[in-house]
Structure formats: structure tokens, C-alpha cells
Amino acid sequence: MLAGIAVFAGDWRTVATRIDQQGADSPLTRFDNWRSSRFCLISLITLILFLSYPAAGETTERREPAAGVDEIEFRERQDFGFDLVFRGEAFGQLPAERVWIRQSFENEDGRVVVLLEEHAGGNVCLSFSNRIVSWDVEGNVLVTERFGNCRGPEIEQTDDEIVLRYDAYEAEHTGHLFPAEVWVFRDGRISEGAVSAPREDPEKGLVGGGCTYKKVSGTAVIDEVNTAPDWQNNCVDPVEVVFHFIPDDPAARSSYLHPDWPDSDRRYVVGDGKNPPRNWARRTGLVIGSQHRAIRSEITQGSCTPVVFLFPDIDAATSHQDCFAKSQ
């Protein structure tokens, strides 16, 4: 290392001496400047790499995976998702487009705990979730339900439990505010822990996160269900579901905060703004003439979408499997 510093400093002294003797503008000086500068740069990079390399006897921290993680695997299914396989035997299904191991642990009692990351498809936060697979020294396997979202987890581990924390977030395309989550894994089970959730003000709507909304309750009536154009953001076998909104209070329209956003000719979408899959829309009851409870949410603070329509009785997350099913 000292030799490198001496060469680096000595070469720059050579450059300075030649400039004094021959003048800064002479051809020889310019050539020497270029050659010596390049040499100095290489010496400097070598010195930096040398200093960053661990000294003899020094170690860098590296987290090894828990023993036994190679005993599980994911086998892709022909329809959608994966079979979860433990020691060569399938014992569960994972309805996801992609699955991978996020992290693994081994408790003091020998139980192996594997945190899975699942992606149902699309790029919305709800498309991402976690699941835990664990087994004891006798090979008894436990698999949790899905939990969490893309905003985590931050993981805390103690001798007898694992705590996973997820931040609150706002859905970009719907404006819906999802509260923070805390999940606790203990004794082979996952349970939801206590967390301070955003409050709901009767007059201002949801408060917390970046935006707040005023809610107007009403009914959505489905006007059209057509095959969606190819150029739109679509699920597999998509349909364009068009509806109009009727507020419960007819006078509510006169006090809309964003009257330039009409109640008619609206499009129902799922996930990251996709037209829903045909079979799912039919099963859910999104057919011409059907009526559904709906909420017109108008922004009062923040820079999110000014107006979004929510169907509280329809769980759009259930569309994921049909939305990303492989074509036969």
C-alpha cells in the first residue's frame, strides 16, 4: 500500500518537474501529462481497491440461509401458479405468477421458517404478498395464508417470534388508502398484530397518507360489457365494463368538488387499471343492468386522482388468477 502511495505521489512530482523545465504547452509536456495522468488514475484505482479489501483476519458479515431451505421447491402448474413441494411431495398450491424465497430463519428449537414472496401479476401493491412455510425437526409442515403487501416487510426476530411490519400506502389508480399492517409469526402460526391505522373522519373521509377524500355513497349501474380493445391495459380475455353512478342523495351532484368528472361513461378496472377478465366479471355479477353499491370519492387534499369510484362489495383482488391465467 505504501509503495502505491509513493508511486502515485512520485509520478505527479515528475509531471510538475517537466512542466517547469519545458513549459506547459510543449508537445513533449502534453504527451507526458497524458501518459502520466493515465498512470496516476490507474494507481489511484488500485489504491482504492486495496484499501477496501478486508485485511488479513478481517471478516465481512454474510447471512447464511437456514438449514433445510433446499427441501422446498416450487413446481409450475399448467393452468396458473405453483405447487409447493416439500421433500419431493406436493402439499399445497400457490396462486401466483412468480414465487421466490425472501428470507429464511432457524429458531432455537430447530424449526425452519421460510418467508416467501408472491407476485400475482401486474404492478399494483396488492399484487405482492408474503407467506410463511415452516417445519419442525420431525418434518411437520405448516403453511400460512397470504399476508402483507409491497410496502415491506421490516422484520424483527426474537427467540420465539418473528414480527413483520408493512407501511400504509395509497393505491395509485383508485386513491384508496390501505392502513399499515403488523403480522406476528409465533408457534407456527401467523396472526395480525396491533397497529395504528389511519382514522376515518365522517365529514372528510379517509385521513392519513398523502391524500384525503370526501365520499359520496350511491349505486353503480352497469351499462355495457364488451370485448375490450387490444390496445387497452387488459387481463386475459378482457371485457370493458362501463357503468354510471347515481348518488343516494340526488342533491349531492350540486355540491360535487369536481363536477368536471362526470358520473356517466365510467370504466370498471382491476389491479393496475386493467379491464377485468370475462369469466371473473360474470361470476362477480358485473353484467348489463346489474346494480352495485358504489362510492364516488373526491379528493380534498393531496395530488392523487381527483375522483375515483369504489365498489365496496366487490373484492377486485380475487380477479388475479383469472387475470393472469395462461391461454390454453
**Per residue in 262-310, pLDDT tens?**
999 999 988 667 889 999 999 999 999 999 999 898 888 765 667 888 8
Q: How confident is the model at residue 1, as a pLDDT?
A: 45
Q: How confident is the model at residue 288, as a pLDDT?
A: 96
What are the pLDDT digits (tens) for 48-60? 554 544 433 333 2
Q: Is the pLDDT of residue 175 over 70?
A: no
| Three-state secondary structure call for residue 39 | helix
State the cell numbers at 172.
395509485
Q: Which residues contact 8 (CB under 8 A, 6 or more apart)?
A: 40, 43, 44, 47
Q: Is the pLDDT of residue 238 over 60?
A: yes
**Nearest residue to 264 (alpha-carbon basis) of 305, 307, 209:** 307
Q: How confident is the model at residue 123, as a pLDDT?
A: 63
In percent, the amount of the chain with pLDDT more than 90 equals: 24
d(CA 124, CA 226): 24
**Nearest residue to 72 (alpha-carbon basis) of 134, 6, 161:** 134
| Residue ranges of domains in the chain | 2-52, 69-192, 205-323
In percent, the amount of the chain with pLDDT more than 70 equals: 65
Answer for the pair 16, 29: CB distance below 8 angstroms, yes or no: no
Answer for the pair 18, 32: CB distance below 8 angstroms, yes or no: yes
Phi-psi region of 283 (alpha: psi -120 to 50; beta: other; left: phi over 0): alpha
Stretch 136-152: mean pLDDT, rounded? 85
pTM summary value = 0.45
